[in-house]
Structure 1
Amino acid sequence: MSDQIQVSKTVDAKPDEMFAILSTPQRHQEFDGANMLRGVEGSGNQVNGTGDVFIMNMENDALGPYQMKNTVTAFEQNRKIGWAPSIHPIDGYTDKLGDVKATGHTYTWELEPAGSGTKVTQTYDWSGVKDESFRGFFPMVSEDQLTASIDKVANAAK
């Protein structure tokens, strides 16, 4: 089995319009295909480059409410953006996760002009997960959920 899911789709939205949404953490809840995001913590400033960090409030059946710290791992204006989530704080959920280190996965969006629209490729990659106990949780998001996220960003960009 592969350690990633990649979906591509051409949508009727411009790359710069989509990138504006993807690089604004306050708007991430609008395109959450998995329905786990509950909003951004604090100001959730605009992402301006690799190394930037934003914290998302999350919720799922296994953990209830929790937070993920997202570190930007890829940034090319209007073309590519990606982030690596990790549980926040890293040792804040030992009552539910034990010693599991919830790090090592990424979400990357690539935007390529295609006629009047954009070819969008979203890659959900967990090949960097080192903790074998955490690896058992993957994939947490399905191909259908990733495709839904692409559609939601495109619709929000119109």
Structure 2
Amino acid sequence: MSDTSITVSKSVDATPEQLFALLSTPSRHQEIDGAGMLRGVEGAEKVTGVGDQFVMNMNNDALGDYQMKNTVTSYEENRKIGWAPQIHPIDGYKDKLGDVQVKGHSYTWELEPEGSGTKVTQVYDWSAVTDEGFKGFFPMLTEQQLSDSIDNAARAAK
């Protein structure tokens, strides 16, 4: 863990192809959510490259129900996929957030073949967060929650 990211790696019993198929299908992301905040997904049934977007319906104690728009930031079929969320709409939730700009963090999954399975590395990075008010919320997820997401993905991918 650094001051602006958490990286978790582990070996799982699923192929890179199985994992990538799951991760590139946003409608299945609720199956991998290790934090329990995701309530559903709208938009892209399948992401196919950098720039694709999908909206996640979320819930947490601080905001209640809210949405995050995700933009795919990395896409290497069966090897790497990542997305950067931002509050949706970007100027929404001012009653709870004021002028805080909720954007600048990302989630990236790297998949490396390893024997009959895969070494999965998940990077949760908030180094691009520029809003000082938003920086104070990080890290919002724990290393354990990221590890749980990897375990959940391995189970769901089969």
TM-score by length of 2: 0.98
Cα RMSD for the two superposed structures: 0.7
**Alpha-carbon distance between aligned partners in 2 of 1:141 and 1:130, rounded to the nearest angstrom:** 19
Equivalent residue runs for 1:54-73 within 5 Å:
54-73=54-73
- 1:36 alignment partner in structure 2: 37
Letter in 2 for 1:53: Q
Instruction: Give the match's secondary structure for 1:71.
Output: strand
Contact 2:44–2:52 (Cα < 8 Å) also in 1: no
CA deviation vs aligned residue, 1:96-121 (integer Å, no higher than 9, x gap): 00000000000000000000000000
Contact 2:13–2:117 (Cα < 8 Å) also in 1: yes
- 1:86 alignment partner in structure 2: 86
- 2:95 alignment partner in structure 1: 95
- 1:9 alignment partner in structure 2: 10
Equivalent residue runs for 1:98-137 within 5 Å:
98-137=98-137
**Alpha-carbon distance between aligned partners in 2 of 1:67 and 1:77, rounded to the nearest angstrom:** 27
Structure 1 gap segments, 5+ residues each: none
- The alpha carbon displacement at 1:44 in A equals 3.0
Instruction: Give the match's secondary structure for 2:6.
Output: strand
**Alpha-carbon distance between aligned partners in 1 of 2:142 and 2:21, rounded to the nearest angstrom:** 24
- The alpha carbon displacement at 1:157 in A equals 1.3
Instruction: Give the match's secondary structure for 1:34.
Output: coil
**Alpha-carbon distance between aligned partners in 1 of 2:21 and 2:28, rounded to the nearest angstrom:** 9
- The alpha carbon displacement at 1:83 in A equals 0.2
**Alpha-carbon distance between aligned partners in 2 of 1:50 and 1:44, rounded to the nearest angstrom:** 13
Instruction: Give the match's secondary structure for 2:134.
Output: helix
Letter in 1 for 2:93: Y
The alignment of Structure 1 onto Structure 2 pairs a total of residues equal to 157
**Alpha-carbon distance between aligned partners in 2 of 1:23 and 1:73, rounded to the nearest angstrom:** 12
TM-score by length of 1: 0.98
**Alpha-carbon distance between aligned partners in 2 of 1:63 and 1:157, rounded to the nearest angstrom:** 31
Letter in 2 for 1:22: L
Instruction: Give the match's secondary structure for 2:45.
Output: coil
- The alpha carbon displacement at 1:45 in A equals 2.0
Identity over the aligned pairs, expressed in percent? 70
- 2:23 alignment partner in structure 1: 22
Instruction: Give the match's secondary structure for 1:87.
Output: strand
